[in-house]
Amino acid sequence: MTLLEGFLWLALNVYHEARSEPQIGQVAIAHVTLNRAKQKNISIEDVIKQPHQFKWIGKRSYFPANIPAFCQSMKSAFIALNTTDFTAGATYFHRQNITPKWSANLTYLNKYGSHKFYR
């Protein structure tokens, strides 16, 4: 995988998981993706395509319909790639209005935008 392909997958993940979030929330989602890739020593694409990890995988189209939002997602992905991880190594997140069973087994770290982050 090339650097550009990795960047595109990261931007797509930010777009599909957090396009309505403020930039800090988008960058935090990107850091989760990067932290997982680093932890598992696999590509960004492979992290994103793992079963049952990101809700948008397996949908009919990955192509962004909202171009301005995708441009913002690319900016957030770029920021994440060029800044220190401020999430304290978060590898999981969920919207704050739900409480998935798996979150009970993880350490809560912080909230960015409308998502809670865990390790």
Percent of the chain with pLDDT over 70: 99
Measured CA to CA in angstroms, residue 82 lies from 9, 77, 85, 87, 112 at distances of 16, 9, 9, 14, 19
Mean predicted confidence (pLDDT) in 35-54: 95
> Model confidence at 94, in pLDDT bands (50, 70, 90)?
very high
The two three-digit tokens of residue 33, written as one number: 């993706």
CATH number of 3-89: 1.10.10
The residue assigned the tokens 């920021």 is: 79
Q: Which residues pair with 79 in a beta bridge?
A: none
Secondary structure (3-state) at 73: helix
> Model confidence at 58, in pLDDT bands (50, 70, 90)?
confident
> Model confidence at 111, in pLDDT bands (50, 70, 90)?
very high
Give the E-state strand segments of the chain in sequence order: 92-95, 108-112, 115-118
Domain limits, the chain: 3-89
Percent of the chain with pLDDT over 90: 87
